[in-house]
Amino acid sequence: MSEDPNKDYNTTRMAHFYEDARINNRGAIEFGIVGLRSLFLVNGGAMLAMLTFVGNVGVTSEAVLNYRLAFLCFGIGISSALIATFCSYFSQGVSGVTSIYDADGIYFAQINRKQASDEIRTEAGRERRVSNRFRYSALGFALISGLLFIVGMLVAVEAIISSNT
């Protein structure tokens, strides 16, 4: 143990920040991956099911036009899920950099380099804002993808009902 108790305390805090960032990032990434895979699966599966239905039933070309909005919803839903995946990837990358800046800021404060510590903490704040923008964009696109799946299903059901009458 060193003579300065604050130094040991700050070293412990730095280690905590690194470990906390690692655990939180792993959990968030796994949760996001499962959610985004689900969005790809439901939108893509619905589109394939509709294609199969239209092909097997032998729907006339006029009736196929009724399905175009549903196909469009599922297609845009897949695209939105893809954009959400990219945004979440960039968010996690920037978030990892932010955690390193936080730990470095504590290190420089610990060795009495206040100016360097303040500069690093300012940069960490900037990176955190960028990470949050990507994160909120990913959530928005994932929400859009989920909503488009629901709308696409409602439109597909309506198209099936109207083509049978």
- What are the C-alpha distances in Å from 99 to residues 10, 39, 122, 129, 130? 15, 29, 13, 13, 13
Q: What is the pLDDT of residue 5?
A: 64
Across 88-108, average pLDDT: 82
pLDDT at 145 over 90: yes
| Interval 106-139: pLDDT, tens | 778 778 888 888 888 888 888 889 999 999 999 9
Sequence ranges of the domains in the chain: 5-164
Q: How many CB atoms lie within 10 A of CB 71?
A: 19
Q: What is the pLDDT of residue 153?
A: 93
Residue written as tokens 């610990």? 110
* CA separation for the pair 118, 149 (Å, rounded): 47
Q: Say if pTM beats, i.e. exceeds, 0.95.
A: no
Q: What is the pLDDT of residue 152?
A: 93
| Interval 13-29: pLDDT, tens | 777 877 877 787 787 77
pLDDT at 102 over 60: yes
| Interval 28-71: pLDDT, tens | 778 888 888 999 899 999 988 888 887 777 666 666 777 889 99
pLDDT at 77 over 90: yes
